[in-house]
Amino acid sequence: MEKLYPLKFQTIFKDKIWGGNKIKTVLEKDFSPLPNCGETWEISGVSGNVSVVNDGDLKGKDLKSLINEYKGKLVGEKVYRKFGDDFPLLIKFIDANDDLSIQVHPDDELGMKRHNSFGKTEMWYVIQADPGSSLISGFNQEVSREKYIEYFEAGKLTDILNREEVNDEDVFFLPAGRVHTIGKGLLIAEIQQTSDITYRIYDFDRVDDKGNKRELHVEEALDAIDYNYYDQYKTNYSRKLNEVVKMVGCQYFTTNKLHFDTNVARDHSNLDCFKILICVEGVLSLEYDQGKIDMKKGDAVLVPATIKKYSLNPSGEFKVLESYIE
């Protein structure tokens, strides 16, 4: 059995009707021969889209077979007991060259009942926002199921949805059930439960290159939606240099932001879980007992559960999202 080390995977590129070029121009990932790229899947255990190791002794092996082989050594004993060979998180970059559809994801209970799948709670970190960009998250007023249906059938759904202006480094936490869409002009890092279940509510009457509209899931969405109104949809967090800042903490994942211009030592001795590091700015090296791995903007690295301590050493300044399950 080969020794575990921090793993980088081959990027999975997704052509989308709303995709653009920022995956190439900002993140420097070549998605040719696709005409555009709406999403990259960086770390995925989703069936049919399982990530394959890009380098090192384990190059060419896929994530599912690695979990089967290494079990808790890779993902953590507690995680392995709960999820088995399924990796619990899905890591993506999303480039919205146009508004995505208005959609909602089911929670665990509904996801299991309907699709034998976990639900989809997710978070977005905005890497880059064009001036005037916005997105939709939740409702802008108290809404009942009946009121929602009334506005939807009248073609006025967007009147009751909460639209937020967005800037670089904004964070949005989206529990399952929250109606949402990513708006035009946003490049986002997404951390989510492993699930590919999306109920598309409204798609702005778009058609693909063959003149076909995409499928909607209007009825399915009704039982999935959280109709509550919340007074805060954007996540407030402290934007401090040289400090580990916790941005999101929920049962599905915890995500910290590390913005440093100096070396930072990380000690996860008390954590029985893998760590995911997503570089959203800068260049650095991840150093651990057995060696080091270079990282740059657009890289996502899976640090095995057995590697408890590592240091991040920058060339200048870096911003890294660090995620795990507590």
Angstrom distance (rounded) from CA 171 to CA 163: 14
* C-alpha triplet 97, 100, 101: angle, nearest 5°: 155
- Cα dihedral across residues 258, 75, 107, 202: positive or negative: positive
**Other beta carbons within 10 Å of 282:** 18
User: Is 206 among the residues known to form the active site?
Assistant: no
Instruction: Give the C-alpha separation, 300 to 278, whole Å.
Output: 4
Q: Among candidates 239, 134, 230, 147, which has minimal Cα distance to 185? A: 134
Phi-psi region of 114 (alpha: psi -120 to 50; beta: other; left: phi over 0): alpha
Residues 253 and 324 sit within 8 Å (Cβ to Cβ)? yes
With beta carbons less than 8 A apart as the criterion, state whether 98 and 36 touch: no
Determine if residue 37 is left, alpha or beta; phi over 0 gives left, psi from -120 to 50 gives alpha, anything else beta.
beta
From 145, 163, 200, 214, the catalytic residue: 200
SS (H, E, C) 173-205: EECCCCCEECCCCEEEEEEEECCCCCEEEECCC
- Which residues participate in catalysis according to the annotation? 200
